[in-house]
Amino acid sequence: MKIGVIGAGSWGTALAALLSEGTGETTLWAYEPEIAESITQKHRNIVYFPEDLLPARLKCSSDLGKVVDGADVLVNAVPSHLVRSVWENAEAFVKPTATLVNASKGFELSTGLRLSQVLLETLPDLPKEHLVTLSGPSFAREVLHHQPSTVVIAGTDKTIMEKIQHLFRRDWFLTYLNDDVIGVEVGGAVKNVIAVACGICEGMGLGFNTRAALITRGLYEMTKLGKAMGANPLTFAGLSGMGDLILTCTGDLSRNRTLGLRLGRGEKLEDILKDMKMVAEGVKTSKVVYDLILKYKINNPVCVEIYRMLYENKPPRQALKDLLAIDLKEELGGLL
């Protein structure tokens, strides 16, 4: 079996390392030639994991066509804003019988589409059932270090889902199945927005009560939006909803929480983004989530205030004050 992992950031590198420990041949595509060279020659990703030794079997190339051509399984691990352009370039090399695993999280900023929708638009000859989504609470560094982790694989064809489930399964990496692609992708995207908010509150010096409230109400708003988009509300009680939300809102390795933390301490968003090596998807996602809230005419005040802080320069303390002043209704209104 030939496997191609597209995107040599931290997540793509961790997944490629995992897959290379199984059967078949795994090749990672890196946009940066220096990363491809360092992995090939030194078995290290000099940008994202300079201190970690990668499996010797893992190959890497900066030639996209070479990595994609003839691959039986392809893994998308590029940031949301690059998905369309990368796969437009890869489309001519994708084997008609290939299975594509979307491991990226977020929405496309310009269209508001989920990433599986973007991939299906970009790859018109790929059968819909050949696309699955992998999501869940899984920091790349901990996956690379074989820390016990769990993810969910969502798709429309059980046979293909089970094939991917077994491909990724390790003693320390558990893979569950779910047929709710919409819910799994919405959860994986929106949790980054709530993580920014949790970081902001922590940066402002607020405590555990506030964080618990944000996570809980964030889960509610995530579920409410997902339901409006056609998802099963129960999905958000699982790995791609509650699980990923807790991890991203509390873990020190969370890029989105870290960005929020710096915002809460008074730094400017543009300065933080210039300083960050890896993408914090929550910033772009908050704009799409705001547009979706307006589209579906739902009341999600936490997500709205996060958007206003990020895109309208609303002071965090004023946003908090406005949230505390909202009219109270039924806790689970709109879900039951």
Which residues are known to be catalytic? 191
CA atoms within 13 A on the CB side of 50: 3
The Cα–Cα gap between 110 and 77 comes to 19
How distant is the alpha carbon of residue 263 from its chain centre?
21
The Cα–Cα gap between 297 and 186 comes to 17
The Cα-based distances of 322 to 14, 55, 184, 302, 311 in angstroms read 41, 51, 30, 10, 17
The Cα–Cα gap between 100 and 127 comes to 10
CA atoms within 13 A on the CB side of 205: 3
Using an 8 Å Cβ cutoff, are 305 and 318 in contact?
no
The Cα–Cα gap between 195 and 189 comes to 11
Residue that has been written with the tokens 């589409």 in this structure: 113
Using an 8 Å Cβ cutoff, are 197 and 302 in contact?
yes
Using an 8 Å Cβ cutoff, are 149 and 143 in contact?
yes
SS3 (DSSP) at 51: coil
